[in-house]
Amino acid sequence: GEDVEQSLFLSVREGDSSVINCTYTDSSSTYLYWYKQEPGAGLQLLTYIFSNMDMKQDQRLTVLLNKKDKHLSLRIADTQTGDSAIYFCAEIPKAAGNKLTFGGGTRVLVKP
């Protein structure tokens, strides 16, 4: 079945690295995504990784994909107060057409 899970909350000090973890069950997805949601706003696509890649780096963001364990992580280097938000991982299982399956979201709080 389709299930994407994330930890609920992460607190980190400004300047430290944040690591947000996600596990998924459906290995058929071509891409896996990370979205950011700030309070009262829609979702902003942060980054995504092709399923045959192990790692993708984009400025302060590093995505790691372990297909064997069905584990996805997002690392934010030099975390800033503006990174405080909810982060959702998501996938589109092949059987789901173009429909996203979301994790429950991880609330990241960056303390000065």
Partner 1 sequence: GAVVSQHPSWVICKSGTSVKIECRSLDFQATTMFWYRQFPKQSLMLMATSNEGSKATYEQGVEKDKFLINHASLTLSTLTVTSAHPEDSSFYICSVGQPNQPQHFGDGTRLSIL
Question: Residue 1 interacts with partner 1 (CB under 8 A)?
Answer: no
Nearer to partner 1, 12 or 32 (CB): 32
Give which of 32, 35, 78 is closest to 55, Cα–Cα. 32
List all residues 6 or more positions away from 22 whose beta carbon is below 8 Å from its beta carbon: 4, 5, 6, 32, 71, 72, 73, 74, 89, 103
Question: Residue 74 interacts with partner 1 (CB under 8 A)?
Answer: no
Q: Which of residues 19-38 bind partner 1 (CB under 8 A)?
A: 30-31, 33, 35
What residues line the site for partner 1 (CB under 8 A)?
Answer: 30-31, 33, 35, 40-45, 48, 88, 97-100, 102-105
